[in-house]
Every structure is written in C-alpha cells, then in structure tokens.
Structure 1
Amino acid sequence: MASLVIAEHNNLSLNAATLHTVTAALQCNAEVDILIMGHGSDTVALEASKIIGVRRVIQADAPHLANQLAEPLTAQALAVASQYTHILVPANASGKNLMPRVAAKLDVAQLSDITKVVSSDTFERPIYAGNAIATIQSIDPIKAITVRTTSFEPAQAGGGSASIEKLVAVPDAGQSIFMSRDLNQSDRPELAGAKIIVSGGRGLGSGEAYQELVVPLADALGAALGASRAAVDAGYVPNDYQVGQTGKIVAPDLYIAIGISGAIQHLAGMKGSKVIVAINKDPDAPIFSVADYGLVANLFTAVPELTKAIS
C-alpha cells in the first residue's frame, strides 16, 4: 500500500501546501510518492526528492502541463492512479479543481477537506462551518482525498533522498486551452501560508479606513492582509483577501481581527490560528469567544496606538 501526493508548484518551486499534504499521506501509508506534473520542472522534482518520508518522485514533463490545466493533469494522474490506495491534494483552489475529476473518473467518492487521519480508511472533516466534526469511513479501493493543510504540520523539506522517475507524459486531448493568467504581485506573504495575518471587517466602515488602519499594522508586523466576507462584499478589499468558509482557510501563528464581529463562516476559516487577537467595540461580538486576547475599544483609536507601539 502506498499514497500518492499530487504536488502543487509553479514549475520553479513547490507550494508549501504540498509539505502539509505529505504529512497527511504518511499517516495513511508508510510509503509516499509525489507526482510532479509540469514543464521545465526539474528543480521542483529535485526539491520534492529531499522531503523526509518520500519514497519516490514521479515526474511528467511536457509543454501542455506547464499551466496546470485540470484536464491534462487529470489524465496524467489517472495514468498512475492504479498503483496507489490513497491519492491526496491540498484542499485549495487547485486541488478542488483537480480531485473531483480524478475521483469521478475512478468512480470513487471524494473525501473532502480532511483534518485528521484516524486510520487508513477513516478520516475526520469539519461540517456545519466547523461546528461539528464528522468521522467518515471509505471502503473504496482508492481514496481520493483533499487535505485541509492547516490541520497538518509540514513535512521536513530537507534531508530526504527519494528517487526521481521520469514518465512519458500522457498526450494532450485538447479539451482545454490556456489563454492568459492575471496575477496579483505583492511583496507580502501569501495569505494561505502566512505566519501573521491582520484582517479587517465591516466595522472599519470603508476601504479608506482599511488602508489607513489595517495596512500600516500589517506593514509593521510583516503580515499578510485578510478580510471578512462582509468587508469584501462591501468592496473594501479584493476577493482574494477573504478569510472564511467561502474564502481561504488559515491557521497562522498570530491572527489579528480588527472590526470583525465573528460570523460563523469567518470563524470557520481562522479559529485554528495559534493566537487570536480581536479588537472590537462590541463586548458581545462572537469573535471574542475564540480570541486569546480581546480588546473592547474604538478601533480608530486603538489600532493606530498599537501600530505606533510596534513600529
């Protein structure tokens, strides 16, 4: 029995989510392989081969895999799937795009967003916005799994010596064509993997207040920027800032919530943070139920003072 982790990468380096997924895979089976699908991805394969616990790196390299389109990735994953009892990907946008296709082609149920491996066929996952935990058991011969990476520690990225096996890529069926990619460029840490996150909510009142209060504090801490769904819906910040059940699931070392009341869907996305600090003028705000440190204060006064003290 062996597990296969489908790596997420940009053809230059591995996404940190892959390391967390390897940890989950090792809890399913003692033997773990990594599948690298891309173009010009030799450095990624070498990086993956050094992960502690990885037995083998399988590399499929071809031009039609360069842009990580779901259709050619699915075909390539299916070409090796029969060798494994578990196939795992991170439960992020890429994984959620790929794994349902793989599971459907294998005619198995997908095990989504797992947070704990109980045994090789039994897993835990949150339901009802994280207010309950479901224990699920699968009798499928191949388990198709997406992993909530914040629930698993990252595997050690150096010191391993896995072999690298190059495959002939499955030909492109021409089901999809890459047109363009529009990426936001930022010097800040990426939200999903950041160690410190400063988030703002509807209590800020405007996008201008977000820029005046939240951004300087994040700059002082070297933090990523986040927001509640209410702040995103109000147009204060772009959609990719959203933390919550319908946004990004995060678990940083420090999460600072400014003017966020703490709706269930937001708490589901950040209550796994190691330390939560909440600043809100409403002493009955639900955010205080999960906060390690709470400050009942006017954020327009408290946040500038906090930023000044840190700077």
Structure 2
Amino acid sequence: MAIQVIKDKCKGCQLCVKACPFNAIDMEGKLAVINDKCTACKACIAKCPFNAIENTGSEEVVDLSAYKHIWVFAEQRDGKLMNVALELIGEGYRLAKEISEDTKVCALLVGDGIGNLADECYAYGADEVILIEDPLLKNFTTDGYTKVITDAIHEYKPEIVLYGATHIGRDLAPRVAARCNTGLTADCTRLDVKVSSYIDYANKNTTLDTSTLDPKDPSTGIKQTRPAFGGNLMATIICPRTRPQMSTVRPGVMQKREKVEGAKGELVVFKPTVKAADIRTTIVDIVKSAKEMVSLTDAEIICSAGRGLGDASGFDLITKFADKVGGVVGSSRACVDAGWIDHSHQVGQTGTTVKPRIYFACGISGAIQHLAGMQTSDIIVAINKDPDAPIMEMADFAICGDLYKVIPEIMNEWDNAEALYDASTK
C-alpha cells in the first residue's frame, strides 16, 4: 500500500480520519490504520501535524516531451461524420496553430469502409487522418473502439485527444483515459492552450508562474473549462502530470472552419489487432426510433418555450411559430420534466448546447443551466411577463408581455416583412 502510518509518530489525534474523504482510516486504540478503501489521495499526509503518515509508493514519471500533436476522434455514424467532429477539427486546428508550426491536428477515423471520409476531414482543417478499419468496427462497440484507440495512442503518443460529448463520446472517452492512465475533463465549453512548463509544477518544485513560461518548452498544457456546481461557476482544469490530455466537448460550442474544397493531408493507416473475443457484447440488431427527432445543433433559428406556456397545448403555438420563421422547436428542462415534450428538444446544460443565429426564448425564466446551453446564440429574443427574469438581462431584444399575444403579432409582422421583401425583389 502506498500510504502508511508510522506507528512511533502517530499520536491518535484523529485529524487524518476527519480529513480522509473515502473513510479509509480506522482507529485501533490510539493508532490510525489505513484500510483497503485508500485511493492514495494524500489528504491525510497534508493534515497530519506529526508527519506520521508517509507515501511509500513510487509515482510513474511521464516523459511529457514524448507526446506531440492533437487528435480529434472523428465520430461517424453510418458513414457520415457527425457535426461535432467537424467542429472539433476546427478547434484542433486553432489550438495547433497556437502551440507551434510543427503541431498537427489529426482526425481519428474508426469503422469499416470509411476511407472516403478522409477528404472531408482534410477540407475542415485536418493535417493528417489516422484510419482504423476492421469489419468488427463497422458498428460502435465500447470494447472494440476502446481497444483500437488505446493501441493507437500507445503507438503514436498524441499530446491532446478531443472527443465530442455525444452518447458515444461520453461512453468511449473515460474508458480510453483509464487505460492510458490519464485524466479526462468532460463536457468542456472552452479550450485554451498555454505552451508552458508544467513539469516543475507537476513535481511541486515551483508554483505555476505564467510570466516565466518558455514558448519552446515541449510540454503543452491545455486549459479545459467546463461548468461546475450546476453551472454556478466555470472550472478551469489542467492535466500537468500525465499524457495525453483528454477532453469531451459539447456539440455546438466550437466553430467549424470554412470548408476548403480539394484540401489534402497525410493518410496514416493503423492496422488494428482486434478479435471477436475482445468484444464482450454482440449487436443482434439496430432499431432506430420511428419518432420524429429534432436537430437543434444544426438549426439557424430555434423557438424555445418554458413553463410560461402553462400546459403542453402551448407547444401547438410554438410549433406554428417555428414553422413560420423556418426554425425548430426547443424547450426548457421544466417542460421536458413535466412530460409536455420529448427530451430531444431540450436546450441547456442537461440537454443540447446550441448556437443558432436567432434564439426565441418564450416563457423561459432563464435558469443558469438553460443559459449555459444557449448563451452563445448570435441573437437572443426573450418573451416573458416578468421584466426581472434573468433571460431578459441576457436578451438582445426583450419583450415584456403575454407570449400568447406577442407571438401571433411577431408571426403577422413576419408575413409583412416577407411580403415587402418579395415586392422589393420583383
């Protein structure tokens, strides 16, 4: 065990017992004893005033300089790249340029018969595509994808690996991180890179002073920002001791690059060593839901509604409104929890993060969890009876009134605007 109590020094003060977050210290008489719940977090070492607890284990020192380049898991389904993959390639391109001219952004394609997607990755900013193909990888399985990606990471040693915070990304990323013995920051909304000397900081030889950083240092620290404590604050997290640094990033947060038709890059084919025995689940059949799904992440106009609708019938008006302005229907969590609308329409921290050109918030008060999912919209229009609602402060245009009266007026004006436009173009 890495953490041990020095019997001759222990005074039985029990401060270590109170400090341990895992209930991993028992008292046997006046002596503290470490039990099997210990995770070697070292909280007890810092708390003991008698230096009676020591760490006897040796920590593996990772050669940070051996890891280079940025990888993006280019998630595809049925041979089509997910939009978040293209967003992350664009973000990876931006980060790579900030690190150094030698840093590449590499798209990681996993599947079978998907080599044609490489050109699309190049067009959106990938310098290199790492292609992993095998019939066993045709459909996503946690075991299969985890094994081949982990093997590729061990082979090529990327410094940063980014995943989309989709159902697949959230399932895959923590398993790969665990096998690579590294950390993972989930649901990031912002990424920043500081080419910096994190090595001394990791070894606790110095504090992290960004004013003395050497831009030629081979160690690149990525600062990963995500909402914490229910969105009440934004936490910035670093991974100074291990590599690769891994993040899942919410769809709709990052900006895609302009597509460059005909762009080319380097193709690296990684031959996986995956067997059927490596995959513990068998896909018998894939059944897709027949219900109508909404694509909030790609919508340019979203008409969202909240508890201010009064009841589920209010979504009839919101649907007509969305059809009129060429948008899609969104919702706050309150409406989803009440059973008024399907979860696929939910916007917010526990729903979908969106970035439309116009976001109509109808009868939504603006809880911080909802604001976290739509605050990057280009234009926010809020309709609410309460002039002091938080959404009204964030809105570019705030309309104080009954949504059942305001929305029909907007629809009428929309018709008038279209008529004037048509007349001016004739």
Tell me the TM-score normalised to structure 1 length: 0.91
Where does 1:125-164 land on structure 2 (aligned, <5 Å)?
125=225, 126-139=227-240, 140-159=242-261, 160-164=263-267
Shift of 1:232: 0.6
Shift of 1:146: 1.3
CA deviations over 1:85-123 (Å, ceiling 9, x no partner): 111111232211211111111111102233021323131
1:10 aligns with 2:113: no
Where does 1:185-204 land on structure 2 (aligned, <5 Å)?
190-204=295-309
Where does 1:61-100 land on structure 2 (aligned, <5 Å)?
61-82=133-154, 83=156, 84-100=158-174
177-186 or 235-244, which moves further after superposition?
177-186
Are 1:88 and 1:145, in contact at CA under 8 Å, matched by a contact in 2? yes
Q: Bigger radius of gyration, 1 or 2?
A: 2
Are 2:152 and 2:270, in contact at CA under 8 Å, matched by a contact in 1? no
Write the distance in 2 (CA, Å) between the matches of 1:187 and 1:77: 30
Shift of 1:137: 2.0
Shift of 1:259: 1.1
Shift of 1:300: 0.9
CA deviations over 1:45-68 (Å, ceiling 9, x no partner): 23223333x222122223332222
Where does 1:1-311 land on structure 2 (aligned, <5 Å)?
1-26=68-93, 27-28=95-96, 29=99, 30-52=103-125, 54-82=126-154, 83=156, 84-114=158-188, 115-119=190-194, 120-125=220-225, 126-139=227-240, 140-159=242-261, 160-169=263-272, 170-172=274-276, 173-178=278-283, 179-183=285-289, 190-211=295-316, 213-311=317-415
Following superposition, which runs of at least 4 residues in structure 1 exceed 6 angstroms of deviation?
Answer: none
Q: Which amino acid in the other structure matches residue 254 of structure 2?
A: F
5+ residue gaps in structure 2? 1-67, 195-219, 416-426
Are 2:228 and 2:235, in contact at CA under 8 Å, matched by a contact in 1? yes
Write the distance in 2 (CA, Å) between the matches of 1:186 and 1:164: 38
Task: Describe the shift of the 1:76–1:185 C-alpha distance in structure 2 as closer, same or farther (beyond 3 A).
Answer: farther
Write the distance in 1 (CA, Å) between the matches of 2:229 and 2:326: 33
Write the distance in 2 (CA, Å) between the matches of 1:5 and 1:185: 31
Shift of 1:187: 8.7
Are 2:303 and 2:362, in contact at CA under 8 Å, matched by a contact in 1? yes
Write the distance in 2 (CA, Å) between the matches of 1:64 and 1:205: 50
Write the distance in 2 (CA, Å) between the matches of 1:199 and 1:285: 16
CA deviations over 1:160-203 (Å, ceiling 9, x no partner): 20133333333342222234232456596x11232221111111
Q: Which amino acid in the other structure matches residue 116 of structure 1?
A: L
Higher relative contact order (CA 8 A, sep 6+): 1
Write the distance in 1 (CA, Å) between the matches of 2:412 and 2:141: 46
Please report the RMSD computed on the Cα atoms of aligned residues, expressed in angstroms: 2.1
Are 1:24 and 1:152, in contact at CA under 8 Å, matched by a contact in 2? yes
